[in-house]
Amino acid sequence: MEKKTITFILNGEKRTIEVEPNDILLEVLRTKLGITAPKYGCGRGDCGTCTVLLDGKSVRSCLILAVEVDGHEITTLEGLSKDKLTPLQESFIEHNSFQCGFCAPGMIMTATELLKKNPHPTEEEVKEAISGNLCRCTGYVSIIEAILDASKKY
């Protein structure tokens, strides 16, 4: 297959790389760019562990072709953590909102989008927003609490 050159903003930096037309964004981020916060969990958009922001909107990077992000902006958890922790990350720490931690990157990205769109969500809105991000450890309660608590700081 003929390779394509794509240019996009990754966590604030302009990157130009060569990809195959059928390369999945998640795997390109992980194997070509060393961005490993987004995780492989199901490969078909069910679990949300690979969630990243595409132009500020949360997307499943396992369902996106790398060529689709040409000219766009991608933010991963690494991008949020660059300088200091966001209030949301601090809140995840405060509420012990993870156990194994594998869902945390996707969960935090989804919650980041939610708080940007809706800085003061209700509990129901939080539950709705993260319902596409599966967590097998926490039972979600501590995650919901962390997001609601963080929303007070926005």
Partner 1 sequence: MSEYKFIGKPINRIDEKDKVTGAAKYVDDINFGPNLLYAEIVESPYAHAKILSIDTSEAEKVPGVVKVVTGKDFPYKFGLYMKDRYIFAQDRVRFIGEQVAAVIARDPKTAKKAAKLVKVEYEPLPAVFDPLEAIKEDAPIIHPELASYPHVPWYYPHGGTNIAHWRKVRKGDVEKGFAEADFILEDTYRIPRYAHCCMETHIAVGFVDYNGRLTIWASSQSPHTQRHLIAEALRPLGFTEQNIREIVPYVGGGFGGKAGVTMEIIAAALATAVKGHPVKVRWRRDQEFYNTYMRQQVITKLKVGVKKDGRITALERTDYWDAGPYVEYGANVVNAATLSATGPYNIPNIKMDGLCIYTNFPAAGPYRGFGYSEIMFSIESHMTRIAKALGMSPREFRKINGIKEGDPLAYGAPMNENGLIECIDKVADAIKLEEKEESKDPKKAIGKGIAALWKAPAMPPNVTCSAFLKFNEDGSINILVSGMEIGQGMYTVMAQIAAEILSVPPEKIRVELPDTDRNPYHWQTVASHSTWLLGNAVKRAALDAREKIFDVVHRALNYEKDHLYLEDEKVKCTTDPDFELPLKDFVINGIMMEDGTYRGQAIVGSGSIMVEFASALQDPETSQGGHPNVHYTVGAGGVVLEIDKETGRVHILKLAEAIDVGKALNPETLKGQLIGGAVQGIATALYEDMRIDENGKILNPNFTDYKIPTSLDIPDEFIPIFVEVPQHDGPFGARGMAEHVMIPVAPAIANAVEDAVGVRVKAMPITAEKIALALLHGKKEVDDFFMAPTKKKEA
Interface residue list for partner 1 (CB under 8 A) = 30, 34, 36-37, 39-44, 46-47, 49, 76-78, 81, 85, 89, 92-94, 96, 98-105, 108, 126-128, 130-144
The least distance separating partner 1 from the CB of residue 7, rounded to whole angstroms, comes to 23
CB of 45 to partner 1, least distance (A): 9
To the nearest whole angstrom, how small is the minimum distance from the Cβ of residue 146 to partner 1?
10
| Pair 138, 98: CB distance under 8 Å | yes
Of 137 and 153, nearer to partner 1 (C-beta) is: 137
Quote the CA–CA distance of 103 and 49 in Å, as a whole number.
Answer: 5
- What is the SS3 assignment for 115? helix
Is the CA virtual torsion 109, 102, 79, 120 positive or negative? positive
3-class SS of residue 13: strand
Q: CA-to-CA distance for 112 and 116, rounded, in angstroms? A: 6
Nearer to partner 1, 54 or 77 (CB): 77
DSSP state letters, 35-86: --SS--S-SSSSS-TTEEEETTEEEETTSSBGGGGTTSEEE-HHHHHSSS--
Smallest gap from residue 137 Cβ to partner 1 (A): 5
- Residue 18 or 141: the one with the smaller Cβ distance to partner 1 is 141
Residue nearer to partner 1 on the CB measure, 61 or 138? 138
Our CB check for partner 1 shows the closer of 7 and 122 to be 122
Residue 53 Cβ, how far from partner 1 at the closest point, in Å?
13
